[in-house]
Amino acid sequence: MSEENSDCRAAEVEAETPAAPMNKLPTLQRNALCKIFDRPEFKPEEVAALGYRRLQQAEGIGQKGLAEITAWLNSHGFELKAIEPPPGSASPVQNKARKNIEHAVRLLRTHGYIVQAVGEEAAAGSAPD
């Protein structure tokens, strides 16, 4: 078990009282927030201060997790509004696909592969015959 997970779980055990706000949050979201704050405990006002965009970009928090955190914040009197994309911008599905592609390219480059756009092959390769 990693140290950061054990710290977060230790906080769960210490904060077993039903009044502890972070105990009402699902485990996955609680662990992701522990990782963001780099400590085992946090308050709803601290999470609300992060803002929607920061939570949206956090590792381990997807759309369902964001909905859980938003509902949790609402139950504690805080509002976390989703940022509406400007008209004509990419959809969330397109953004997710782009992020997946960027992640794949980064992974391939990390392992020594050369990744280039289709049109770059002729320009970067040898001269045509």
pLDDT tens readout for residues 72-89: 999 999 998 777 666 666
The 10s digit of each residue's pLDDT in 35-53 is 999 999 999 999 999 999 8
Question: In the predicted model, is pLDDT for residue 120 greater than 70?
Answer: no
What pLDDT was estimated at residue 95? 79
Question: In the predicted model, is pLDDT for residue 17 greater than 50?
Answer: no
What pLDDT was estimated at residue 20? 67
Question: In the predicted model, is pLDDT for residue 96 greater than 90?
Answer: no
What mean pLDDT is reported for the chain? 79
The C-alpha R_g of the chain, in whole angstroms, comes to 21
Contacts of 17 (CB under 8 A, 6+ apart): 23
Contacts of 102 (CB under 8 A, 6+ apart): none
Look at residues 83, 75, 74, 76 and name the one whose alpha carbon lies nearest to residue 55: 83
Contacts of 77 (CB under 8 A, 6+ apart): 44
Q: How many Å apart are CA 85 and CA 104, to the nearest integer?
A: 25
The reported pTM is: 0.53
Q: Sort residue 113 into left (φ over 0), alpha (ψ -120 to 50) or beta.
A: beta
Q: What is the mean pLDDT of residues 15-28?
A: 69
The answer to whether the CB of 39 falls within 8 A of the CB of 6 is no
List, in sequence order, every beta strand (DSSP E) within 1-129.
none
